[in-house]
């Protein structure tokens, strides 16, 4: 018989196959009968693998979320909407720049941000002097994002093993590390001297710089504008020793309630935009206004890149076990007062297409995360999107520059995959991607 804790969680007595312990699905915690579901044996020993978020598992997750009935009161909704900035400012004052790991993986998801063409195995070498995570996988779930810094001993040991594995992979390919670094120095010099490569990038919701500083190192030829509605977060970006106004301009702006100041960012002036785990923190009824504001600042042919939480992500199912956390459909309140929304690819596309964007990519990224100590199998679901402002037929110079960026085999493949996925967007069935984190 299973033992239960005071909060209803099941402990000990793990299901076994013969005398061998077997993996269990963490979703059992959110089911009424509290029975653990044994996960079928997985051939790979990978603890962070791409998985197919199949219709059966989605059906289970959907049945769980549909049982939600408790929604916070209207007064609480208004309070957290009116004080959203204050809660995030408190979050950054408490955690400073120590909560989130540097996102040293975005260039692998968005090749347009990888002019040096650095591979996954090479990434940890490129960032090793910065003590950045080699994998950059988003394993957390608390606070305001999903890549928190808090790691236990097992996590650190796993990270070190990953570094050793990648180094071994490079050595097995006879890669000369010194020669590799010399090549990067040369490529960086060529990039910075090439006027045609000097694009402008705007990051919406920069936090403390976990996205922009790795990308600055990878994209020395680009100029970055970044903003956040938390004054303390922006101050932390500016206090970083890498902050250089010749390369980066950080400022305060609440994109949910105000336009991007044209005194800093002119209309139709931005080549690329980034929203990494930011749109989900905004109320659903304000997302269309946000999309309209971004559309104004983006150049014709410019592209907005998004990564955020997907429907039925593990963190959404956790909210279900906590009463009084649901604000609205797929919108929840965290313990620290910040909020998060969980997207379908259909909703994500609708928001930006309504503002005039063209959908290039809108897909799910689903992963299985396995805790070996507890023998628990958990599932992360994210959405990843690329949305383009339609080309201006009169601006042929800008059009050719933009098209040269996106005329990439990887991107063309992504677009083809997206077209296939869009055929299924009228259903709730999710698909996994081959993109790794």
**Domain residue spans of the chain:** 3-41, 74-115+196-422
Distance between terminal CA atoms of the chain?
39
d(Cα 297, Cα 357) in Å, to the nearest integer? 12
Given a cut of 50, the residues of the chain with pLDDT beneath it are 1-18, 28-47, 131-154, 156, 407-437
Output the CA–CA distances (angstroms, integers) from residue 397 to 54, 200, 301, in the order listed. 44, 15, 11
CB atoms within 10 A of CB 261: 12
- Cβ atoms 206, 250 nearer than 8 A: yes
Q: How far does CA 161 lie from the centroid of its chain?
A: 24
Contact 136, 107 (CB under 8 A): no
pLDDT at 119: 84
pLDDT computed for residue 282 by the predictor: 95
Query: For residue 66, what pLDDT is reported?
Result: 77
**Helix (H/G/I), strand (E/B), else coil: 418:** helix
C-alpha radius of gyration, the chain, whole number: 22
- Which tokens is 282 given? 């905004």
Task: Write down the pLDDT at residue 7.
Answer: 38
Q: For residue 402, what pLDDT is reported?
A: 54
Structure tokens at 51: 């998985």
pLDDT of residue 293: 97
CATH number given to 74-115+196-422: 3.40.50.150
DSSP, collapsed to helix, strand or coil, labels residue 273 as strand
Which CB contacts under 8 angstroms, 24+ apart, belong to 404-413?
405/112, 405/199, 406/112, 406/303, 406/360, 408/111, 408/112, 410/111, 411/111, 411/112, 411/360
What pLDDT shows up at residue 49? 55
Q: Are strands 331-333 and 10-11 parallel, antiparallel or unpaired?
A: unpaired
pLDDT value of residue 132: 39
**pLDDT at site 237:** 93
Per cent of the chain over pLDDT 70 is 65
């Amino acid at each position: 018989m299973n033992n239960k804790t005071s909060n209803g969680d099941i402990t000990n007595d793990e299901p076994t196959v013969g005398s061998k312990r077997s993996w269990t699905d963490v979703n059992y915690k959110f089911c009424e009968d509290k029975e653990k579901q044994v996960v079928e044996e997985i051939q790979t020993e990978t603890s962070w693998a791409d998985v197919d978020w199949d219709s059966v598992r989605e059906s289970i997750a959907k049945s769980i979320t549909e049982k939600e009935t408790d929604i916070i009161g209207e007064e609480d909704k208004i309070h957290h909407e009116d004080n959203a900035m204050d809660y995030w400012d408190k979050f950054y004052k408490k955690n400073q720049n120590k909560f989130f790991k540097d996102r040293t993986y975005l260039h692998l998801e968005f090749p347009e941000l990888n002019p040096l063409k650095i591979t996954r195995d090479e990434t940890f070498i490129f960032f090793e002097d910065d003590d950045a995570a080699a994998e950059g996988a988003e394993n957390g779930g608390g606070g305001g994002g999903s890549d928190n810094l808090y790691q236990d001993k097992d996590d650190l040991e796993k990270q070190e093993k990953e570094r050793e594995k990648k180094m071994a992979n490079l050595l097995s390919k006879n890669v000369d590390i010194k020669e590799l670094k010399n090549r990067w120095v040369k490529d960086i010099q060529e990039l910075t001297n090439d006027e045609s490569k000097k694009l402008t990038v705007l990051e919406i919701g920069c936090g403390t710089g976990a996205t922009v500083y790795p990308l600055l190192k990878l994209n020395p030829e680009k100029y970055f504008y970044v903003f956040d509605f938390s004054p303390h977060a922006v101050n932390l970006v500016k206090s970083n020793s890498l902050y250089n106004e010749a390369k980066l301009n950080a400022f305060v702006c609440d994109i949910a309630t105000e336009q991007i100041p044209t005194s800093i960012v002119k209309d139709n002036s931005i080549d690329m935009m980034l929203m990494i785990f930011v749109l989900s923190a905004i109320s659903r009824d304000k997302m269309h206004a946000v999309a309209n504001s971004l559309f104004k600042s983006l150049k014709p042919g410019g592209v907005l890149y998004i990564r955020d939480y997907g429907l039925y992500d593990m963190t959404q199912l956790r909210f279900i076990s906590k009463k009084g956390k649901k604000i609205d459909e797929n919108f929840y309140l965290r313990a620290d007062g910040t909020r998060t929304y969980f997207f379908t690819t259909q909703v994500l596309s609708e928001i930006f297409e309504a503002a005039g964007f063209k959908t290039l990519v809108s897909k799910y990224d689903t992963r299985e995360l396995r805790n070996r100590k507890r023998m628990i199998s958990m599932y992360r679901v994210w959405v990843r999107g690329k949305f383009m402002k339609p080309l201006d037929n009169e601006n042929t110079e800008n059009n050719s520059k933009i098209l040269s960026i996106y005329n990439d085999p990887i991107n063309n493949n992504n677009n083809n995959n997206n077209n296939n996925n869009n055929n299924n967007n009228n259903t709730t069935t999710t698909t996994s991607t081959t993109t790794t984190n």
